[in-house]
Every structure is written in structure tokens, then in C-alpha cells.
Amino acid sequence: MRQFFLLFVIAVSVGAFVIFVIPRYKDLQAMRKDVSSFDSRLATAERLKQSREELIAKYNSISKKDLDNLKILLPDTVDNIRLIIQIDSLATKNGMSSLRNVEYDAAKTDPQAKPDVQQNVSQKPYGEFTMSFTTTGQYKNFLSFIADLEQNLRLVDISSVSFTEGDKSLGDSLSYKITLKTYWLKK
């Protein structure tokens, strides 16, 4: 009877081990894997936090003047009116007439435009704004105007220039139709 009792105790112990201990052990192993996964994610989050703090420190070390120049170089909006005013002031500064016949397509450059209006706009991180205008003046003044436009902080690419004979009453002036492209940073 004593042997039977010992066998019974051993069988109950093995059964309890199989029923209770093994599933808990498997749960513990799964939790250890989760803990190691969470630890690696936490380490990644800590590295990202440190990287963010370094970037913020670098950003804060940039002077306000340089930040303003960067915003002029590549603005975060089209700001077509300010661009037209800026180009017009460069033209008048160089002895050219005020800008006339200013043309641009607002639907293609509007960052808030509906997607069906912007069918052919690619998914670039920047937008392009194309405009054309006409101005009149002497050729030497035109060269000065182009040089100032080149030295201007706002990034512009002149796509085309066409010359026509200007008003005879103004002397040897020419009329210039200029098409240019500028860029803005999408958010």
C-alpha cells in the first residue's frame, strides 16, 4: 500500500507539473521575449530622444538672420505676391519698367488645392511655381536686373527670355518677356 501511495504522489506531482508548471513556464518564456523586445524598443526610443535633443541644439545654434535667409531661399509657401513685389523692386531699382502682364497658374501651385486639380504634380518634397512677366528697359539695365536676380536670396531659375523692340519714345529700349521658376518647400 505504501508503494501505491508513493506512486500516487509521484503521478500527482507529475500531473501538477504538466498542468500547472509547464504552461506557466511557457508564459514566462513569452514574457521574457516581450521584455527583451520592449527593452530594444526603449533603447531605440532613447537614441531617438538623444538625436532629437542634438538636432534641437543644432537648430537653436543657428542665428535668427541665417534662419530668415533660409526661409527666403526656400520658403514653406508659394508666397507669389511677395515674389512679384520683390522682382518688381529689383526691376525698378535697375532702371527697368514695372512688371506687366504677370501670368502664373495658381491652381497648380496652391498647396491646398484639391488632388483632382493637381493631376500632373509629382510627389516631390518641394513645389514649383512658374511665372512670366514683361518689362521694358535698356539692355545694360536688363543685364543689371538679371545679375541682381541671380544674387537674390530667393532661388529662381530663368526658363526663357524673349526680346522685342520697345517703345521708340524711350530711346533704344527693348521689351523683355521673362519666364522663371521658383521653388517652395512642402510641409
Secondary structure of 51-68 in HEC code, one letter for each residue: HHHHHHHHHHHCCHHHHH
> What's the pTM value of the predicted model, to 2 decimals?
0.58
Q: Which three cell numbers stand for residue 139?
A: 539692355
Give the pLDDT score at 53: 94
Q: How far is CA 165 from CA 141, 146, 158, 170, 175, in A?
A: 15, 19, 21, 11, 6
Q: Is the dihedral of CA 172, 103, 162, 128 positive or negative?
A: positive
Q: Give CATH superfamily name and number for 74-185.
A: Ribosomal protein S6/Translation elongation factor EF1B (3.30.70.60)
Q: State phi, psi for 154 to the nearest 5 degrees.
A: -70, 125
* Burial annotation 32-54 (CB, 10 A radius, 16+ → b, else e): eeeeeeeeeeeeeeeeeeeeeee
Cα 134 to Cα 101: distance, rounded to the nearest angstrom: 6
Give the pLDDT score at 116: 46
Q: Under DSSP, is residue 37 helix (H, G, I), strand (E, B) or coil?
A: helix
Give the pLDDT score at 121: 52
Give the pLDDT score at 44: 93
Q: Which residues of the chain have pLDDT under 50?
A: 110-111, 113-119
